[in-house]
Amino acid sequence: LNDKEVNQVQFYTPYGVHIRTLKIPGKEITCLSWEGKSLRIALSVDSFIYFANIRPDYTWCYFNKTVCYLEATKAEDTSLITFWDTNSNQCYSKQVDPIIGIAATVDHCVLAVETKISAKEFSFMSDSKSKDFMYQLLVCNSISTTVDSKYVDLRPNFIAMNSTHVVVASKDQFLLWHYHTPKGASTLHGNVKAKKDKKYHIDDTPALDVLNDLDSNATYDIPSKTDASQDPICCIAVSESLLLIGRESGLIH
């Protein structure tokens, strides 16, 4: 539909995962150079030279007048998270396992970390017996205190949260975790049945799982698929009443 000629420069992680595509106008890219010890690149396109600055994907979030961000350190086996109260100008630090992602809602944030555990500790998880790494979700308040946590065997490539749930997703599956906070726990009634956390495959038919969840007499779980999807998940977003999942084809659930 567009007659303009466009070149593409694709960026990958050291593990071969595609992270970004940069479109450059022109007929042909004849040379590309990355400045040493810097985040700038130069490209020669036809008779022009283009300069571009690479902006890192910083790990941070904002909630309850607090900025929560990942500190730059040389440690490879731990991550240092800082909680900066913008009102009082006080900072609180929290050292965790290597962090993968972070998200926030009104009063809390969630940290997704990769933690090394033994198979015996989590032998009750059928999929984790042969894994050396598990993933932990930490719900924290504005002074870095952990108020709830959960171990999962699903790599949280994408993470989002609202006031009641944390949603994490890999390329093929997603998990809904109903977390609890001291404020939320105080409002629960004793006869309220705890909600079970469910994991879904992106190619599953959701109606079957929803009907099973609504059936209070159901004593079984419909097993989810484990196959790799041909149309992987690329992003998620959640509000108080809506969950959106985007796939690489452009399809939105």
pLDDT tens string 35-57:
888 889 999 998 999 998 888 88
Question: Does the pLDDT of residue 221 top 60, yes or no?
Answer: no
For residues 149 and 177, what is the distance between their CA atoms, to the nearest angstrom? 10
Q: Provide the pLDDT confidence category of residue 86 given band limits of 50, 70 and 90.
A: very high
Question: Does the pLDDT of residue 185 top 70, yes or no?
Answer: no
Q: Provide the pLDDT confidence category of residue 5 given band limits of 50, 70 and 90.
A: confident
Look at residue 64 in the predicted model and tell me its pLDDT: 94
What ranges in the chain are assigned the alpha helix state H?
Answer: 182-185, 206-214
The separation between CA 18 and the C-alpha centre of its own chain, rounded to angstroms, equals 16
Look at residue 61 in the predicted model and tell me its pLDDT: 96
Look at residue 214 in the predicted model and tell me its pLDDT: 42
Give the pTM: 0.78
Mean pLDDT of the chain: 82
The mean per-residue pLDDT over the stretch 145-165 comes to 94
Question: Does the pLDDT of residue 117 top 90, yes or no?
Answer: no
Question: Does the pLDDT of residue 192 top 70, yes or no?
Answer: no
The terminus-to-terminus CA distance of the chain in angstroms comes to 27
Neighbours of 145 (CB within 10 A): 12
Compute φ and ψ for 121, nearest 5 degrees: -65, -30
Specify whether the CB–CB gap between 119 and 154 falls below 8 A.
Answer: no
Specify whether the CB–CB gap between 234 and 249 falls below 8 A.
Answer: no
Q: How far is CA 131 from CA 35, 152, 229, 245, in A?
A: 39, 12, 21, 27
The mean per-residue pLDDT over the stretch 202-219 comes to 55
The mean per-residue pLDDT over the stretch 128-135 comes to 64
Q: Token pair for residue 225? A: 């698929």
Question: Does the pLDDT of residue 92 top 50, yes or no?
Answer: yes
The mean per-residue pLDDT over the stretch 190-207 comes to 66
Return the residue matching tokens 């975790």. 177
Look at residue 125 in the predicted model and tell me its pLDDT: 47
By mean pLDDT, which of 151-165, 172-186, 187-201, 237-251 is the weakest?
Answer: 187-201
